[in-house]
Structure 1
Amino acid sequence: MPTDRVRASVAALLQGDLPLAERPFAEVAKAAGTTEEAVLEELREMKAEGIVRKFGAVLRHQRAGYTRNSMVAWEVPEARCDEAGRIFASRREVTHCYRREPMFLGRYSVFTMVHFREGEGAGFLEELADRAGASGYLVLTSVEELKKTSMEYF
């Protein structure tokens, strides 16, 4: 059974990129001073506990052609926030969806990040506003990325 030291070491090592190797977890195990099976067991436990949600590739969206990225603040009545959030979150163009308090400028309660390729998205926000029952929205377009990192917890 892995120890707390193994858990902390595995978690710290997996915050970054997986080693590009035939057996990446064996490489993680070597760096953590344990076995590949211990790393996999620890990951299974952390997944079962809800600590680890998933493993996946990180797509650099701008390099993939998704150059139109905007935060959208939605004016949604409080009674509709949960339903509107589900509608927003169901769309593949939406990568983040949050309800925030207090309301921004006293009227915007739900925030999303949307991503499009150049020439895409015409009419998307209007359609989404209608479906979600939003009476208005404010588009905050990214003009320059000043910092973007993943949080390091260990």
Structure 2
Amino acid sequence: MYEDMDPTDLALLRAAQDGIPIVPHPFRELGERLGLDEGTVISRLRALRESGVVRRFAATIGHRALGIVANAMIVWRVEGDIERIGGIMASFEEVTHCYQRATCEEWPYNLYTVVHSRSREECEKIASRISEATGVKEYRVLFSEREYKKTSARI
């Protein structure tokens, strides 16, 4: 799968996926592990980002430590302009994921949003606000009961 990728870029991505160190020169430190100078690391990561291999650099926040303990997937039955409605749903700051999915006879929901909040009640209120904003009245709020695994994509 990764055979066509430059071996140095692949090694750089593998090293970076475990996190960038919080130090004054994180790319220098990352480069030292790989035998690269800081400028080379930065230019290669920039090129990977510009080519679309790397979509973004982001910090991961421990949401549970901040009191964000309620997670809900809200499934919506959208009829009509799903692109427009999906855009409205995705614009809510509480929505972290918004996906269109195929339906089946037993499960008519075709748009999925994920929200995180401090309580189940807040998640329900967010769902109600989204419903009001979009006019979509048929939805279900599904709460996480237990987390078994949470990781980012790995190469």
Q: Do both proteins adopt the same fold according to a TM-score greater than 0.5, normalized to the shorter chain?
A: yes
Aligned residues: percent identity?
33
Higher helix share: 2
Of 134, 139, 151, which aligns to 1:149?
151
Q: Please name the residue that 1:105 is paired with.
A: 106
1:73 matched residue in structure 2:
75
Alpha-carbon displacement from aligned partner over 1:103-150 (angstroms, at most 9, x marks no partner) = 583410000111111363453212211222313111110111111111
Structural mapping, 1:1-150, within 5 Å: 4-77=6-79, 79-103=80-104, 105-118=106-119, 120-121=122-123, 123-150=125-152
The 10-residue stretch of structure 1 (92-101 or 15-24) with the greater mean CA deviation from structure 2: 15-24
Greater CA drift, 127-136 or 43-52:
127-136
Q: Which has the higher strand share?
A: 1
Distance 2:146 2:122 in 1: 20
- Where do 5+ consecutive residues of structure 1 fail to align? none
Distance in structure 2 (CA, Å) of the matches to 1:71 and 1:98: 11
Output the TM-score relative to the length of structure 2: 0.88
Find runs of 4+ consecutive structure 1 residues off by over 2 angstroms.
102-106, 118-124
Tell me how far 1:80 sits from its aligned partner: 2.0
